[in-house]
Structure 1
Amino acid sequence: MNTCSFNDLNARVACIIDDLAEQGWSLQTHFIAPTLTLELAEECRKRAAAGLLVQAGVGRSALAVISEGLRGDHIQWLDAGQNAACDQYLAVMDAVRQALNQALYLGLEDFESHFALYPPGAYYKKHLDRFRDDDRRAVSVVFYLNEDWRAEEGGALRLHLADGSCRDVLPHAGSLLVFLSADMPHEVLPATRERLSLTGWLRRRGAAPF
């Protein structure tokens, strides 16, 4: 696994491409400038305080149902034009999308993302980021917004790797975790403090689900 500094977007994306090709996942620390990471964290907290983040359901859009036994995060989807920091983040992710297409021929057409806030004690049990009737999500992307996170606070995202081992990724501010959606079961472990992230998916064209 390669790790690049935030000074060169092209180098960081090259690291992601190499990692996805070799092992199906990539972790990059300090992926974007700390000032933008802080602005995104502040925006997430602002939306949460305004009551705009709602408890996430399980399943697709209107068919989603609340299942507190499976997941406990609260979310709000990003839309372009709502906030300057979010627009900057979306622009970076579009550059990542284009680079992955050029190097790996994944056919990625768009990116969807939401703020995710896990209250203390909340978790998300082991799952795949694919719906049974919709295979458009190809690459999962998680960007963390938690300053001064300590290992003893928990909250890791646990990747279940193909060889049967696990890799725990702590939600440090500025870290970007990228993995192939169909191939990487994962779970979010409970934390002792509020846990913030931007979670999203690079999507390819697919048949519309019925």
Structure 2
Amino acid sequence: MKIGILGTGNVGRTLAARLVELGHDVVIGTRDVAATEAKAEAEFPAPLRTAPEAAAHAELVINATGGQVSVAALQGAGAENLAGKVIIDVSNPLDFSNGFPPHLAVCNTDSVGEQIQRAFPDARVVKTLNTVNAEIMAYPAKLADGDHTIFVSGDDADAKATVTQLLREFGWLDIVDVGDITTARGTEMMIIQWVRLMGPLGTLAFNYKLVR
């Protein structure tokens, strides 16, 4: 599959490496390719392109930008390049402006997933992977042999089926469809508890397990 990843940070790079490993045709989108290459501390696992080029290349787009800038970043990629495509949104609207612990810039009555869907009504947004760190997103089997839960939210059943298949390629076993895109409010709010658990647990390699 042709996949464009928007976001050059740890999440974007980790997902890109995993997708390349799985045989997908991956490019990473950035505002300024030369500037991104100049400040990079290591090589990128997939070619860098401008955001519009990455989105135009893709059959599926992954938003790995910060939640507070996600809509703007996707607008920079061009609505015409996103129309009809699946957008996987892995972002969280964490606001560290007042230090730690962070608060959510969006919550309760809205979510970043919903904001993206409203801004790009011709795209098909699926919220997932935002409740774990980058390494577990890409390699779930590294934790408890994969015996833990990931959530999926979105309005389009076919888009969720496409994303679920990709998650299974990563190695996710317990994938829970929690409903339409408004259910992203709940999974985004889960990240506040996740952040507070980092200290007591002393690790980033943990996740929730839904028992039913």
Report the structure, 1 or 2, having the larger strand content.
1
How does the TM-score come out when normalised to structure 2?
0.30
Which structure exhibits the higher relative contact order, with contacts defined as CA atoms closer than 8 Å and separated by 6 or more residues? 1
How does the TM-score come out when normalised to structure 1?
0.30
